[in-house]
Amino acid sequence: MTLAIVPVGGVVASLIQLVLVALGGPLLVGLMAKVKARAEGRVGAPIGQPLRDLRKLLTKERLHARHASVVLALAPMVIVASAVVAVAISPLVSTHPLLGSSADILVIVYLLLTGSAAAALGGLDTGTAFGGMGSSRAMTIGALAEPALLVAVIALSIQSGTSNLPRIMVDTLAHPDWVLAPSRLLALGALLIVVIAETGRIPVDNPATHLELTMVHEAMILEYAGPELAMVTLGEAMRLGLLFSLVANLFLPWGIATHATALSLLGATASLIAKTVLVALGVALIEVRSAKLRLFRLPELLAGGFVLSVLAVVTGLVTR
């Protein structure tokens, strides 16, 4: 019987990724809120305000609805755990993260979907009207976004012949012309639509609203308080940071470390921060110039993402 040796470089890279996403996710939320406030002529809260809010929530009392079951308490842990595992195995800083051979893009997608399902079950658990409404809307949006996401994944896999994320990034580094290929650009458009939908940003959802008729994500977490609300908020922020980082690295992989040396990991960390901030700024500017769509208009937007992903697959097969 032989024991597998875990590479130290992979462990270090995964730990760096976890720290970056756990701290950077809330900071990205604060940065986007700051950009939107400035664009609207307001001062806005400090960029570090989400981290302060998390610290404050951790000191609050944990409260549960009278008829809530164990699902309400377990859902935040599942949301955070799924995000942590997805971040740890994703190639964000290095192409050799912990369990990099398992970093199939479908695995990442289903880990994030596990968190989404847990959030929906938590919203349904208390039996409130708002929780049920938010969970129903979230699952409807997810069901519409998943086909576009999966087909876009297939489009990204065509050139490399694999859906393993580190392999896709290494092959893209070896073939820089792939970045400007029509199939990649179409897949990028589809993924941007899906990421906006999955992270609950405008025009799909407005994370700053508490208007009953428009709430989606906020309706699911109305019954959370204290540390559990902090966990849900942190899990969603990590999810946002992970998706933004993956989009940045999939289409601009330059700067990611291909060797686990201290200097290369340091440079990859700076590169990842810069690329993710650019993606966040782009999404924030889209939000400033867009209005939230009515719920019945969302299928049109997500259908557009699906069409782009199908075109990406067809174009990739034709030009391969």
What pLDDT score does 57 carry? 92
What pLDDT score does 23 carry? 94
What pLDDT score does 131 carry? 83
Q: What pTM value is reported for the model?
A: 0.90
Phi then psi for 279, rounded to 5 degrees? -65, -45
What pLDDT score does 1 carry? 37
What pLDDT score does 214 carry? 66
pLDDT at residue 102 above 80? no
What pLDDT score does 233 carry? 92
Select, from the ranges 35-39, 203-207, 268-272, the one with the highest average predicted confidence (pLDDT): 268-272
SS (H, E, C) the chain: CCCCCCCHHHHHHHHHHHHHHHHHHHHHHHHHHHHHHHHCCCCCCCCCHHHHHHHHHHCCCCCCCCCCCHHHHHHHHHHHHHHHHHHHHCCCCECCCCCHHHCEHHHHHHHHHHHHHHHHHHHHHCCCHHHHHHHHHHHHHHHHHHHHHHHHHHHHHHHHCCCEHHHHHHHHHHCHHHHHCHHHHHHHHHHHHHHHHHCCCCCCCCCCCCCCCCCCHHHHCCCCCHHHHHHHHHHHHHHHHHHHHHHHHHHCCCCCECCCCHHHHHHHHHHHHHHHHHHHHHHHHHHHCCCCCCHHHHHHHHHHHHHHHHHHHHHHHHHC
What pLDDT score does 212 carry? 62
What pLDDT score does 5 carry? 46
pLDDT at residue 82 above 90? yes
Q: Give residue 98's pLDDT band: very low, low, confident or very high (50, 70, 90).
A: confident
Q: What is the pLDDT of residues 5-21, one digit of tens each?
A: 456 777 888 999 999 99
Q: Give residue 316's pLDDT band: very low, low, confident or very high (50, 70, 90).
A: confident
Q: Give residue 2's pLDDT band: very low, low, confident or very high (50, 70, 90).
A: very low
